[in-house]
């Protein structure tokens, strides 16, 4: 067999697999936007998932946000002090946390904790044929399992981001107060003076997009997990990797769009 024919023999199945997977993901997302508008509405399940996503993530989010605020403040202080601009530290921290670090750090943590949990849970239900049993019993498994979880992550990630911003700024305040003796009132006056409406609204919109991505990727990987116990692990791992990859791409694209509106 010629060499070129051999290469095409191995490459073609990979290309076909990629595009078939892309089409499957598109149909999965399209089905969500069709199912979300029509009854029955699983309000109780959405509330339960909001609790799972939000409340159970608070300890890790709190610790991470607090440490990020302190570390970034301590890392930025020497550079600003060289130019005699240490008084700009609260403004710099506010812009960094609200614009980028708060949404990104929260989304990455949620992708690791929430995304893997959703992927493993749905993958386990797929392996044990619980999803098939729900279809036989007359329940819409997609609406009950997928729509509720995607709505929960879409609603709760922006709330977690705002909480992370607050915790990170409090950690930054403790560091600033310990070194520059700045009061809490003065610190937050400088923080809000440095922020604009575009900063706040862009952070919220990015958080909504990140939350939707985390929930959708976790559900897709779990829903299409391979049979067997190994499939559960692959679903959980694939949820984390794919969600983080898409979050970085979305962060890059959203940054370009926001900077376009920020230009004078």
**Which of 179-188's residues contact partners 24+ apart within 8 Å by CB, and which partners?**
179/77, 180/86, 180/87, 180/89, 182/90, 187/90, 188/90
Mean pLDDT of 206-223: 92
CA–CA dist 162, 255 (Å, integer): 19
Scan for tokens 């595009």, then name that residue: 19
Q: How confident is the model at residue 260 (pLDDT cuts 50, 70, 90)?
A: confident
Residue 1: pLDDT over 70: no
Using a pLDDT cut of 70, give the percent of the chain over it: 92
Over residues 67-118, the pLDDT tens digits come to: 999 998 888 888 888 777 777 888 889 999 998 889 999 999 999 899 889 9
Mean pLDDT of the chain: 85
Neighbours of 135 (CB within 10 A): 11
Q: What is the pTM of this model?
A: 0.88
CA–CA dist 82, 59 (Å, integer): 36
Over residues 30-55, the pLDDT tens digits come to: 888 888 888 777 889 889 999 988 88
Residues 6+ apart with CB under 8 A from 107: 157, 161, 207, 210, 211, 213, 214, 247
Residues 6+ apart with CB under 8 A from 108: 244, 247
CA dihedral 248, 192, 169, 242 (to 10 degrees): -10
Selection from 112, 117, 127 nearest residue 225 by Cα: 127
């Amino acid at each position: 067999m010629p060499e070129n024919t051999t290469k095409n023999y191995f490459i073609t199945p990979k290309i076909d697999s990629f595009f078939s997977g892309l089409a499957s993901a598109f149909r999965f997302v399209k089905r969500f936007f069709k199912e979300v508008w029509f009854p029955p509405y699983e309000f109780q399940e959405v509330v339960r998932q909001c609790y799972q996503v939000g409340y159970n993530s608070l300890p890790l989010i709190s610790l991470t946000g607090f440490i990020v605020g302190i570390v970034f403040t301590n890392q930025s202080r020497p550079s600003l002090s060289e130019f005699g601009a240490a008084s700009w530290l609260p403004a710099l921290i506010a812009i960094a946390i609200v614009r980028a670090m708060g949404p990104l750090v929260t989304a990455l943590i949620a992708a690791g904790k929430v995304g893997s949990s959703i992927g493993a849970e749905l993958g386990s239900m797929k392996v044990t044929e619980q999803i098939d049993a729900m279809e036989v019993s007359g329940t819409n498994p997609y609406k009950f399992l997928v729509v509720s979880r995607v709505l929960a992550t879409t609603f709760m990630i922006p709330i977690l981001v705002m909480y992370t911003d607050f915790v990170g700024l409090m950690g930054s305040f403790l560091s600033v107060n310990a070194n520059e003796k700045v009061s809490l009132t003065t610190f937050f006056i400088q923080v809000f003076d440095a922020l604009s409406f575009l900063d706040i609204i862009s952070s919220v919109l990015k958080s909504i997009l990140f939350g939707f991505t985390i929930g959708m990727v976790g559900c897709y990987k779990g829903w299409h997990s391979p049979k067997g116990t190994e499939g559960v692990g692959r679903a959980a791992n694939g949820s984390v990797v794919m969600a983080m990859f898409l979050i970085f791409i979305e962060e890059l694209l959203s940054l370009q769009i926001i900077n376009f509106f920020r230009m004078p």
